[in-house]
Homo-oligomer: A and B are copies of this chain.
């Protein structure tokens, strides 16, 4: 019996243009943003609802203020995250997902969940 193992079925492939493999493809830049170390965590955190700066800082354990600012700015410029300054005393800023950001996290959360569930087996060489 001849069969090629572990090849994605056609219906999953059709949407994936060859372009993603090209060096100059814009998707590379976008992928860099959304799969960045902290980008993933921030997006997943926001998928649970609106968060303040200080909440995100605590939630994404280990992130520096610099990287939080940089990550949020990139995601905001990409139209994935919405920044809402609240002019109250004391002032704060709320971050949430845009529609496009929400669409993205629907794909991202399962990936992170999978990584979480498989991490121990993977890192310990278990099948």
Contact = CB atoms under 8 A, between A and B. Distances in A.
A113 interface: yes
A73 to B, nearest CB: 14
Interface residues of A, number: 73
A21 B99 CA distance: 23
Contacts of A125: 77, 79
Given A6-B97, A29-B119, A79-B125, A15 B113 contact: yes
Nearest to A60: B21
Contacts of A112: 16, 20, 27, 31
Among A35, A44, A62, A120, max chain B CB count under 10 A is at A35
Interface in A75-127: 77-80, 96-123, 125, 127
4 closest Cβ pairs, A-B complex: A35-B35, A23-B62, A6-B102, A26-B119
Given A6-B98, A111-B111, A118 B47 contact: no
Nearest to A39: B35
Interface string A1-24: 000111110001101110111110
Nearest to A63: B23
